[in-house]
């Protein structure tokens, strides 16, 4: 009887190990981001290195944006509601690409206007312009640059699904948002 129980336990352990999600099989991206340090909308320190092992969704915005940022942030707030309805564990991070203008207070007001739930959504600033541009360009292979002679910036309109410092996938957030696909992807990563 003891040998039988040991064999059953071994089978269960092996099944548990084999049920881990193969991220390379399910997701198209495999980039990594370096550490970026800043502060969130409450003036609290934020470091991407603190996201190790965490599931998070990252976007680039700026509050003076006269085109896509407001719809993107609104769509993220809708996605936040859907992820919460499914009782999923995740963190949203919106990086400002205009840190000179987007102070924590400005970001807090902007997030509040978009119905962001700050309990799991950080709006991040407090770094140098060059740092956020390099962070976006190198890690996310995404544009981030000020338009010459303007107060506007070029930036990605994607939402990036992350686990720790690893980029798994990106989703268009300015229009035709694939909400269901993103919810399913976050559910899948929960099993990782």
Percent of the chain whose pLDDT exceeds 70? 85
Stretch among 15-24, 32-41, 126-135, 150-159 having the lowest mean pLDDT: 15-24
Give pLDDT tens digits for 2-17: 544 444 444 334 444 4
Give pLDDT tens digits for 129-146: 999 999 999 999 888 888
Q: What CA–CA distance (Å, rounded) separates 77 from 69?
A: 12
Tokens coding 125: 């600033």
Per-residue model confidence (pLDDT) at position 19:
52
Stretch among 12-26, 92-106, 126-140 having the lowest mean pLDDT: 12-26
Confidence of residue 31 (pLDDT cuts 50, 70, 90): confident
Q: What CA–CA distance (Å, rounded) separates 57 from 121?
A: 9
| Four-CA torsion 56, 42, 117, 94, nearest 10 degrees | -40
């Amino acid at each position: 009887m003891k040998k039988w129980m040991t064999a059953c336990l071994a089978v269960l352990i092996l099944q548990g190990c084999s049920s881990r999600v193969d991220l390379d099989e399910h997701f198209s991206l495999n980039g990594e981001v370096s550490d970026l340090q800043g502060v969130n909308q409450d003036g609290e320190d934020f470091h991407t290195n603190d996201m190790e092992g965490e599931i998070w969704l990252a976007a680039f915005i700026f509050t003076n944006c006269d085109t896509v940022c407001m719809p993107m942030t609104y769509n993220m707030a809708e996605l936040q509601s859907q992820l919460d309805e499914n009782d999923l564990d995740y963190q949203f991070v919106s990086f400002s690409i205009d840190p000179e203008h987007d102070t924590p207070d400005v970001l807090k007001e902007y997030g509040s206007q978009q119905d962001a739930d700050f309990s799991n959504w950080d709006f991040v600033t407090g770094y140098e312009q060059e740092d956020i541009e390099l962070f976006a360009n190198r890690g996310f292979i995404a544009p981030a640059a000020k338009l010459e002679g303007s107060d506007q910036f070029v930036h990605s309109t994607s939402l990036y699904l992350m686990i720790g410092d690893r980029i798994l996938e990106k989703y268009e957030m300015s229009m035709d948002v694939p909400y269901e696909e993103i919810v399913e992807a976050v559910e899948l990563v929960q099993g990782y």
